[in-house]
Amino acid sequence: MLSRVMDVMEWEDRHGSGAYGKRPLAIVRGAGCTVWDEAGNSYLDATSGMGVALLGHAHPAVVTAITEQAQQIITVAEAFYTPRRAQLYAALAEVLPGSLGRFFLCNSGAEALEGALKVARLLTEREGLVAAQRSFHGRTLGALALTANPKYRQPFAGAGWLPPVRRVNYNDLAAARAAIDESTAAVFVEPLQGEGGVHEARVDYLRGLREHCEATGALLVFDEIQSGLGRTGTWLAAEAAGVVPDIVCLGKGLAGGLPMGLVAWRSELGGIPRGSHGSTFGGNPLACAAALATLKTLREEEILPAVRGRGEWLRRQLTARQADWPLVRSVRGRGLLIGLELRGRVTPVLRRLQEQGVLALPAGQTVLRLLPPLILSAAEAEQIVVALDAALRD
């Protein structure tokens, strides 16, 4: 049993894949919006575990659901029916807008993107793909082809590893219309970009995409893996524009911290051929029970309206302090997905913020991203502002 922090860090560095940049912090416990290291130091987790801890860490409803389900049965393959999966389908159909009522369950957001690629191809029998600049859709090969940043794609370019994608500027409707035609299977877009720098799609852009996809027969796919499930104060970020996609990808906090991804598409499009896709662990009862508890808590505790109010307050406070923070170029975002664009690199600010007891994320080299749990309290929101003030005045 490794007991010392240095033991933990040494063994992870020695045996880890090397794929991840590490901060010198070993987290051992979490509750709500707070995490602790081995020395007992507490940090407000404004990363929510990369957007996963929607209800915070160790939420009682999720812990109870996991415990009770684990005592009954943990895994049931999709070759068999199981109550928890059926109950989750019913709950999803109730909260998602429009006729989004066909579901494929998997284990992550990247898997959801891979599934959406296959669903779009199978339903349209077309091959063309269109995606936006600054987009981030994942690092598996299909999702990677859609991801804009060349630093992720370059090592795997050539030799037919990545499917060809027409890439157009985000929020440029004319360019999108020119790229979408009768050969296009699907158009992938994030209504609110996270990793790409916290940029929001304009209402007329999303509505124009919806109209042009209907005219050409292309499927409109929204990647709401980071922006969905209440993160912006509505179940989907695109609801603010009144636009319902043909396919939506969800993941991150869907199961309250357990791995789960989801591809949902309009019921009238029908199912996909038997055996055309699969996932060994997708839709297992344990993850489904956690997802049911998460959705139920979000609804019954009316967390989404609170997210809207808390997010508006945070953005007002941060915007009002810009005059005192010369390093901050702009504040943007919606709900509890907020970005501060800086006039310099974000890494030193993240380090200073951690010294103030708050953990945050980058979104590119110059954007600081706040992605706290949706249960963030007024006092915790104030703590973020105070810590940012200390970090940015330096």
Q: Comparing C-alpha atoms, which of 292, 351, 355, 343 is closest to residue 41?
A: 355
Give me the amino acid identity at 49. Answer: G
Give me the amino acid identity at 372. Answer: P
Q: pLDDT tens across 268-318, in order?
A: 999 999 999 999 999 999 999 999 999 999 999 999 999 999 999 999 999
Please count the residues of the chain: 394
Domain 61-300 annotated CATH 3.40.1010.20: no
Per the listing, tokens 């996270």 go with: 194
Buried b (16+ CB within 10 A) or exposed e, 200-238: bbeeebbbbbbebbeebebbbbbbbbbbbbbbbbbbbbb
114 — phi, psi (to 5°)? -60, -45
Could you give the CA distance from residue 352 to residue 366 in angstroms, rounded to a whole number? 15
Q: What is the pLDDT along the chain (394 residues), one digit of tens a residue?
A: 455 666 888 999 999 999 998 999 999 999 999 999 999 999 999 999 999 999 999 999 999 999 999 999 999 999 999 999 999 999 999 999 999 999 999 999 999 999 999 999 999 999 999 999 999 999 999 999 999 988 898 888 876 778 899 999 999 999 999 999 999 999 999 999 999 999 999 999 999 999 999 999 999 999 999 999 999 999 999 999 999 999 999 999 999 999 999 999 999 999 999 999 999 999 999 999 999 999 999 999 999 999 999 999 999 999 999 999 999 999 999 999 999 999 999 999 999 999 999 999 999 999 999 999 999 999 999 999 999 999 998 6
Q: pLDDT tens across 339-387, in order?
A: 999 999 999 999 999 999 999 999 999 999 999 999 999 999 999 999 9
CATH for the stretch 302-339+350-394: 3.90.1150.10
Ranges of beta strands (E only) in the chain are: 27-31, 34-37, 42-45, 100-106, 128-132, 166-168, 184-189, 219-223, 247-250, 261-266, 328-334, 337-342, 358-359, 361-362, 367-370
Task: List the chain domain ranges.
Answer: 61-300, 302-339+350-394
57 — phi, psi (to 5°)? -90, 140
Per the listing, tokens 């919006």 go with: 33
Ranges of beta strands (E only) in 42-157 are: 42-45, 100-106, 128-132
Could you give the CA distance from residue 99 to residue 81 in angstroms, rounded to a whole number? 23
